[in-house]
């Protein structure tokens, strides 16, 4: 990978920096000058981490400006309607070009929305499927609020790019929304793990409640008005300030995300973090969200392969994740697409990746020596709100994101107890499997789960899995209203990597790309292939009550001298498959895993899997555990160790 730094870089950067937000509270650990000697091996030409980090930061700003200019080069917008016009207007105002057209578009839509509300016309609830009347659609409200914060007349960033009439109309439009949608009762410390709908919906709403209330409280036209819950903007802003001072700490201590690695929803959730880091009026909130962004990007990088996230994921599949191109605006890798389709927050931000994330992204695939990532993640459901909208996530969720990383593959899954109740967004369309390099096709390959969908909505609670190092076992969950699956047909395994050698042998499917090896065995009746010979399905699927099991065993040339040796090793491993138990021994150290069938009709009798005769630990003391990220509960400090980078991310205690 190369990074282009043309002769015009510095003057162009100077122009661009005049257009972007100044990041808050940069730390010494977040600069290239604080790096020592390299201790990692890197892909490509970079042997000096200082140079790599500095080049990445410079190239990132260039990538963001290129993307903005591509947006405003055409006056047509995508997505169509209010959403696209909001994104286009943010890009234009950021670059200080086509300002009159941006003001005209923003003013018209704001006035139309105000007229609807003043005329007592019933408008839809603030949900994606019914937010067509708003000047921003639904998910673009974060960009809309960013426009107002960056360019209003008293802004500390780029004041005055909004005309007075446009600014007043945007405030009025946001007032009509926030007064109805914001509830002071949901901004208290005991609601830190309460979600308003899904996680991405929550991050679309409450951060903007805070920012809008904070702006309106200082405007004489709005500061004395009362929200629908009877409180003023001043009261709302004060409550949310306390709430968001603590929110990043709480998320850091519980393992970050519920919609972990979602193909669809990461791109909707993360922009709120940037806004709170850069725009929040309170410096403590800005600092806390800066730390959270650093932690989140480091965590994302350590479990990713060339930008593709591995490990256990929710609301996900094996296809590319649109958030990858958002991330690459920051990494600025020449061989990966960069841009943000549904938000321009990242493109208009000046936040820079911490050196640890950059070094992890550029390490040799994926590790020089095998290691495990074992992170606790939120997801277990504590309670449903009486209003039917909110749900409380447990602060000590029994859920672990696990990955085994080697020089040639990353195998990951979610460790869980299937008899527990997890939030729908946590157990929805879970993905697990193996990522492998496919350099000839300039892509990342995968061998992983595919869930057949049988009815409306995403598949729910379709299977449960356990993993120890390079061996993964999963079981399909039978259909049931209580503790069972929903919208789930067959559980299949997809082999999605160019150039894979595939071989059927003694009930196993063996796969190799020359350096990575995998063995897949359907344990209850064998398998069958689709016509393309890329997806394997159970040969004897029995319908909604099916509880068939699958074994995936990975290896590579660092352990096995050849593909043939890997095959003979697996075929000689002791494997016992009984009706209610799978017993498997493997590896030079004779590892032993035992998996017990989950019977949805007899949930209380379920036994957790055993690893070397000990029950799997779903509540480890460590919230993060890997060579790179470590934190024990209930600590507030995350230790980052990546080559020459040594850093402590210390989240402040309650303010």
* The total number of residues written for the chain in this structure: 655
DSSP 226: B
Strands of the sheet containing 645-650, edge to edge, are: 622-625, 629-632, 637-642, 645-650
What tokens were used for 642?
A: 């990546």
Q: What's the confidence (pLDDT) of residue 77?
A: 85
Question: What DSSP letter does each residue of 329-347 carry, written as one string?
Answer: HHH--TTS----SS--TTT
463 alpha-carbon distance from chain centroid: 21
Omega of the bond leading into 79 within 30 degrees of 0 (cis): yes
How far is it, in rounded angstroms, from Cα 117 to Cα 124?
Answer: 11
Q: In whole angstroms, give the CA distance from residue 178 to residue 461.
A: 35
- Residue 31: the pLDDT is 39
Cβ atoms of 372 and 402 within 8 Å: the answer is: yes
Alpha carbons within 13 angstroms on the beta-carbon side of residue 602 total 8
Query: Residue 538: beta bridge partners?
Result: 527
The predicted pLDDT at position 634 comes to 84
Residues of the chain below pLDDT 50: 1-39, 45
Contact criterion met (CB below 8 Å) for 134 and 177: yes
The predicted pLDDT at position 28 comes to 36
Closest CA to 411 of 462, 445, 460, 377: 445
Helix (H) or strand (E) holding 625: strand 622-625
Report the side by side order of strands in the sheet with 581-586.
575-577, 581-586, 591-596, 610-611, 614-615
Tell me the CA distances in angstroms from 63 to 18, 46, 97, 305, 531, one per residue in order: 16, 20, 18, 21, 42
- Alpha carbons within 13 A on the beta-carbon side of 346: 30
pLDDT at 7: 27
Q: Which residue has the tokens 């958002």?
A: 326
Place of tokens 């914060």: 149
Residue 156, judged by CB atoms within 10 A of its CB (0-12, 13-18, 19+), counts as exposed
Supply the pTM of this predicted model.
Answer: 0.92
Determine the pLDDT at residue 423: 93
pLDDT, tens digit (0-9, with 9 covering 90-100), for 269-289: 999 999 999 999 999 999 999
On the CB side of 372, CA atoms within 13 Å amount to 13
- Please answer whether residues 478 and 544 qualify as being in contact, where contact means their C-beta atoms are separated by less than 8 angstroms: yes
In the beta sheet, which residues pair with residue 535? Answer: 494
Radius of gyration of the chain (CA): 25
Query: What is the pLDDT, as a whole number, of residue 646?
Result: 94
List the chain domain ranges: 1-35+47-71+182-367, 75-178, 399-618
Pairing outcome for strands 491-496 and 443-451: antiparallel
CB 228 within 8 A of CB 220: no
Q: What's the gap between Cα 135 and its chain centre?
A: 27
Element (H, E) at 615: strand 614-615
Angle 54-59-63 from CA coordinates, rounded to 5°: 155
* Pairing, β 614-615 against β 610-611: antiparallel
In degrees and rounded to multiples of 5, residue 372 shows phi and psi of -110, 145
HEC string of 30-81 equals HCHHHCCCCCCCECCCCCCHHHHHHHHHHHHHHHHHHHHHHHHCCCCCCCCC
Strands (E), 490-546: 491-496, 501-505, 508-512, 516-522, 527-529, 535-538
Asked if residue 634 has a cis previous peptide bond (ω within 30° of 0), the answer is yes
Q: Are 123 and 117 in contact (CB under 8 A)?
A: yes
Using CA atoms, how far apart are residues 168 and 439, in angstroms rounded to an integer? 53
Q: What is the pLDDT of residue 272?
A: 97
């Amino acid at each position: 990978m190369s990074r282009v730094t043309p002769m015009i870089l510095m003057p162009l950067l100077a122009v661009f920096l005049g257009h972007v937000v100044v990041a808050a509270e940069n730390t010494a650990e977040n600069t290239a000058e604080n790096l020592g000697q390299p201790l990692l091996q890197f892909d490509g030409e970079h042997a000096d981490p200082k140079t790599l980090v500095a080049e990445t930061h410079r190239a990132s700003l260039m990538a963001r400006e290129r993307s903005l200019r591509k947006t405003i080069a055409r006056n047509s917008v995508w997505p169509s309607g209010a959403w696209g016009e909001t994104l286009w207007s943010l890009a234009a105002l950021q670059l200080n070009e086509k300002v009159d057209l941006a003001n005209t578009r923003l003013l018209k839509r704001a006035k139309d929305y105000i007229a609807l509300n003043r005329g007592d016309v019933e408008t839809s609830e603030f949900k994606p499927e019914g937010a067509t009347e708003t000047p921003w659609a639904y998910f673009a409200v974060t960009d809309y609020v960013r426009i107002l914060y960056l360019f209003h007349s008293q802004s500390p960033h780029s004041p005055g790019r909004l005309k007075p009439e446009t600014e007043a109309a945007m405030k009025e439009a946001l007032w009509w929304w926030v007064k109805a949608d914001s509830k002071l009762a949901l901004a208290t410390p005991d609601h830190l793990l309460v979600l308003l709908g899904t996680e991405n919906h929550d991050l679309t709403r409450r951060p903007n409640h805070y920012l809008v209330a904070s702006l309106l409280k200082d405007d004489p036209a709005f500061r004395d008005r009362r929200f629908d819950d009877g409180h003023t903007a001043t009261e709302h802003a004060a409550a949310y300030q306390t709430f968001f001072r603590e929110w990043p700490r709480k998320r850091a201590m519980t393992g970050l995300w519920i919609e972990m690695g979602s193909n669809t929803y990461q791109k909707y959730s993360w922009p709120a973090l940037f806004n709170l880091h850069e725009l929040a009026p309170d410096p403590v909130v800005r600092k806390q969200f800066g730390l959270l962004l650093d932690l989140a990007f480091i965590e994302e990088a350590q479990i990713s392969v060339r930008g593709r996230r591995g490990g256990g994921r929710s609301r996900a599949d094996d296809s590319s994740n649109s958030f990858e191109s958002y991330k690459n605006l920051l990494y600025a890798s020449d061989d990966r697409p960069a841009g943000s389709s549904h938000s321009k927050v990242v493109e208009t931000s000046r936040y820079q990746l911490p050196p640890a994330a950059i070094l992890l992204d550029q390490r040799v695939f994926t590790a020089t020596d095998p290691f495990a990532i074992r992170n606790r993640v939120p997801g277990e459901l504590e309670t449903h709100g009486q209003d039917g909208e909110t749900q409380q996530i447990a602060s000590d969720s029994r859920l672990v994101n696990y990955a085994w990383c080697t020089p040639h593959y990353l195998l990951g899954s979610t460790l869980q107890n299937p008899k527990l109740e997890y939030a729908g967004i946590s157990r929805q369309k879970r993905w697990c499997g193996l990522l492998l390099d496919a350099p000839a096709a300039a892509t990342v390959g995968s061998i992983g789960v595919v869930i057949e969908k049988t009815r409306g909505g995403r598949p729910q609670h379709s299977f449960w899995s356990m993993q120890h190092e390079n061996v993964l076992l999963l079981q399909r969950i039978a259909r049931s209203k209580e503790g069972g699956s929903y919208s789930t047909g067959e559980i299949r395994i997809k082999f999605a990597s160019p150039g894979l050698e595939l071989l059927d042998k003694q009930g196993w499917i063996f796969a190799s790309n020359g350096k990575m090896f995998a063995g897949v065995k359907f344990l209850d009746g064998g398998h069958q292939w689709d016509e393309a010979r890329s997806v394997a399905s159970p040969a004897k699927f029995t319908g909604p009550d099916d509880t068939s099991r699958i074994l995936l065993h990975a290896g590579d040339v660092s352990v096995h001298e050849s593909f043939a040796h890997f095959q003979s090793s697996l075929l000689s491993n002791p494997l016992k498959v009984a009706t209610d138990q799978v017993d498997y021994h493997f590896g030079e150290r004779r590892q032993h895993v035992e998996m017990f069938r989950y019977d949805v009709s007899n949930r209380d009798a379920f036994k957790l899997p055993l690893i070397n005769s000990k029950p799997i630990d779903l509540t480890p003391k460590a919230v993060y555990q890997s060579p790179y990220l470590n934190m024990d509960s209930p600590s507030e400090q995350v230790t980052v160790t990546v080559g020459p980078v040594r850093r402590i991310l210390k989240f402040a205690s309650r303010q």
